[in-house]
Amino acid sequence: MSKVVVYFIEDEAAVREVMIKYFAILLSETIRLNSEFIFFSNATEANARKRRDGWPDVVVCDHGLPNQSGADLLREWRSAEWHGSFLLYSGGNCPMNDEELAGLDASFRIKNDPRRLTDWVETTVRCLMP
């Protein structure tokens, strides 16, 4: 059985480290065993991995990335017909209105609430498991 591939894209190393710990502690064992988490510091790294290994199933992405925002990455991937689950998050307000988020089939969360990010990942990955 193949694992659900989850990309986590965040330019701040401290935030990546916190989320690695949250995922290890808060995600159920079933989710941890049936998914592969790959962490990136920018969209360029994620795009390189995607070109090498194919599309991920799930993306959790900071909006405020250097060189390419999370919202721009979402638009780019959707225009390329990627149909995975995408969670855009930010320390402030959502960079997209509700209609645009819905049109791009994406969710939004505030960065300062890692528990809600973790809950979204748990629910989303569980839905993709056989």
Is residue 53 situated within a structural domain? yes
Look at residue 1 in the predicted model and tell me its pLDDT. Answer: 65
Given a cut of 80, is residue 126 above it in pLDDT?
yes
For 18, the token pair is 């916190």
Q: Per residue in 14-55, pLDDT tens?
A: 999 999 999 999 999 999 999 999 999 999 999 999 999 999
Q: Per residue in 69-124, pLDDT tens?
A: 888 999 999 999 999 999 998 877 667 677 877 888 888 887 778 888 999 999 99
Q: Total structural domains in the chain? A: 1
Is residue 7 situated within a structural domain? no
Is residue 10 situated within a structural domain? no
pTM (two decimals): 0.92
Structural domain boundaries enclosing 46 = 15-63+71-128
Given a cut of 90, is residue 130 above it in pLDDT?
no
Q: Contacts by 74-81 with C-beta closer than 8 Å and gap 24+?
A: 74/104, 74/106, 75/104, 78/104, 78/105
Is residue 105 situated within a structural domain? yes
